[in-house]
Amino acid sequence: MSDLNLTLHVWRQRNAKSPGKMVTYKVTGVSTHASFLEMLDILNEQLTAKGEEPIAFDHDCREGICGMCSLMINGRPHGGQRATTTCQLHMRHFKNGDEIWIEPWRAEAFPVIKDLCVDRTPFDRVIAAGGFITANCGSAPDANDILIPKESADDSMDAAACIACGACVAACPNGSAMLFVAAKLAHLHRLPQGQPERMHRTQAMVTAMDAAGFGNCSNHYECEAACPKDIKRDVMALMNRDYAKAALASRDRETKSDGSG
């Protein structure tokens, strides 16, 4: 296959405070075997040779698992290929002469740091609020003492595959983090170990999600289509059910504690 010459429109923004704009670049001689990020490497080498500052973009493992890479490519998170992160998107899916628009994640909760890099620390804050099982090191029973049906372990693993890249938030017209939060809850709640803290965890994480500035879900399911790990929207139904139960239970608890006061 021959090499590609492309026209790129890339979002450049100096820092969180400066306004940004789309800048057009030509990139030449891109192998069809290169990944999308390798295409950006080639552009950055060409920019460096001209004395222009390279484009900042987040990336690390480049094998689709760390969740560091992002990018809206032609308006779609990770470029829109099913179950594929940007680092795993390869240039054989583009044609010579293509024009490509590249932007950072667009979501109020994820402010731009520079160019294509955004701040995703709100995700960490949601996990810190309850995305864990309280099990201090050293206190565990033998692993085979907790029997887990294969189906439960598999279902849990499906949800646990989330890489926290933020594509779901970027895809959502409301900038909602429901799929991310619900995936973590489903991972833990499909296992027996997750049951003791289930109600508290659901409430705490939803509260933290709201506080972090994510929008509400209005059932577009763009998140599911954009997810590079194929997380299914049924996790959100599980979360909504638990949240309703947790809200009722906590009202019960308040009533009781008032009574015994």
Where in 15-54 is the site for another protein (CB under 8 A)? 15, 30-31, 33-35, 37-38, 41-42, 45, 48-49, 51-54
Residue whose C-alpha is closest to residue 186's, from 209, 167, 168, 160: 160
Terminal Cα distance for the chain, rounded:
77
Residue whose C-alpha is closest to residue 131's, from 155, 164, 107: 164
Under the binding rule (CB under 8 A), the answer on residue 62 touching another protein is yes
**Residues 192-251 interacting with another protein (rule: CB under 8 A):** 193-194
**Amino acid code (one letter) for 151:** E
Q: Which of 23, 61, 211, 244 binds another protein (CB under 8 A)?
A: 61
**Distance of closest approach, residue 245 Cβ to another protein, in angstroms:** 20
- The sign of the torsion formed by the CA atoms of 218, 224, 225, 228 equals positive
What span, in angstroms and rounded, lies between the C-alpha atoms of 99 and 24? 10
**Distance of closest approach, residue 259 Cβ to another protein, in angstroms:** 31
Phi (first) and psi of residue 97, to 5 degrees:
90, 0
Residue whose C-alpha is closest to residue 102's, from 80, 119, 84, 123: 80
Q: Which of 5, 22, 24, 63 binds another protein (CB under 8 A)?
A: 63
Distance of CA 223 to the CA centre of its chain: 9
**Residues 111-150 interacting with another protein (rule: CB under 8 A):** 113-114, 117, 119-121, 123-124, 127-129, 131-144, 146-150
**Distance of closest approach, residue 251 Cβ to another protein, in angstroms:** 24
**Distance of closest approach, residue 123 Cβ to another protein, in angstroms:** 7
**Distance of closest approach, residue 258 Cβ to another protein, in angstroms:** 28
**Residues 173-192 interacting with another protein (rule: CB under 8 A):** 187-188, 191
CA atoms within 13 A on the CB side of 77: 26
Of 210 and 252, CB closest to another protein: 210
